[in-house]
Amino acid sequence: MYFPHTRKRRLRQNQSIRNLSQEHRLSADDLIWPVFILDGFNRSEQVQSMPGVQRMSVDLLLDKLHKLVDKGLNAVALFPVVDKAFKSDDASEAWNPEGLVQKAVKTIKSEIPNLLVITDVALDPYTSHGQDGIINDQGQILNDVTIKALVMQAQSHADAGADMVAPSDMMDGRIGEIRAAFEQKKRHNVGILAYSAKYASVFYGPFRDAVGSAGNLGKSSKETYQMNPGNAREAIDEIQMDIDEGADMVMIKPGMPYLDIIKTAKDYFNVPICAYQVSGEYAMLQSAINNGFLDEKGAVMESLLCFKRAGCDAILTYYADRVIHWLDAS
């Protein structure tokens, strides 16, 4: 018998030995902060469905970024809140060189050049119907037509100075076309973070509220292009295809409900694996925290540590700004 010679509690008896024997740790290097940006100056709005999260104009965002970068933040991901006047069926505002995202990238990179700026490549903030693609008269998403628009959007972001583009649309073949366009323009160093296993999830609701696409989408769904939540093996195919097409990093989305997909991806692939702790996950946690049911720091840190345990190399989380301060103070 192993007992009493083996007593696992020996490695748990005080904080020092627990620190020595801990297998996984969370650091500022693991975090990407997703932010909602507004046009204009000195503007901020609370996202009602995400208590504690704001939409911000770029000047206010810059103030926060300077402080967070000083404490270790490496990356920010930009998500635009587009005025209704700029939404259209063909989403042409998405590749406007003077658009909200393009101007934001230029401003941030000019002031904080070492901060990694990641941009969302998807049409849903810009379409009048709220879908991630261009549709025909029957309401069907036109995959190949959409790819052409996504390429123009990605190129406009690279032209503005984005370090990495993150196609989140789930159109077939878009990673290869974006990579080919970058190579043709000799943008060899612009990275692609592919949303490779993005599931058709109810957990995106607060995000759509935050960027203003929920009303446009209405009762329509995205199930014809986002993945079926009941499928796991299909995610491996999707990830492999994106890597073969030129993705540098891959994303699993949502996060905690799909830890099994994160673990499998880490076992299969030798590229950085990212996960998105999405708006619905944030809203659930924060609601419990605000009601006094959970300790904020403890719940958030444990939830993020589980991403590391599953195999994540990077985590997009709306808690990144708070976690950076907690880690700095520890």
| Cβ contact 265:240 at 8 Å | no
Q: Where are the alpha helices (DSSP H) in 41-140?
A: 58-70, 100-111
238 assigned ligand-binding residue: yes
198 is catalytic: yes
Q: Where are the alpha helices (DSSP H) in the chain?
A: 15-21, 58-70, 100-111, 143-160, 174-184, 205-211, 214-217, 233-245, 259-268, 279-290, 296-310, 320-329
| Cβ contact 242:282 at 8 Å | no
Residues 6+ apart with CB under 8 A from 168: 120, 121, 122, 132, 195, 198, 251, 253
Within its chain, how far is the Cα of 147 from the centroid?
Answer: 20
Dist CA 97 CA 82 (whole Å): 15
Dist CA 22 CA 12 (whole Å): 10
Which residue in the list 198, 219, 263, 308 is annotated as catalytic? 198
Residues 6+ apart with CB under 8 A from 54: 36, 44, 45, 46, 47
Q: What's the angle, vertex CA 190, arms to CA 185 and CA 192, rounded to 5?
A: 115
Which residue in the list 87, 106, 222, 253 is annotated as catalytic? 253
| Alpha-carbon dihedral 206, 45, 300, 195, rounded to 10 degrees | 50
Residues 6+ apart with CB under 8 A from 4: none
67 is catalytic: no
Residue positions annotated with a catalytic role: 198, 253
Q: Which residues are annotated as a binding site for Mg(2+)?
A: 238
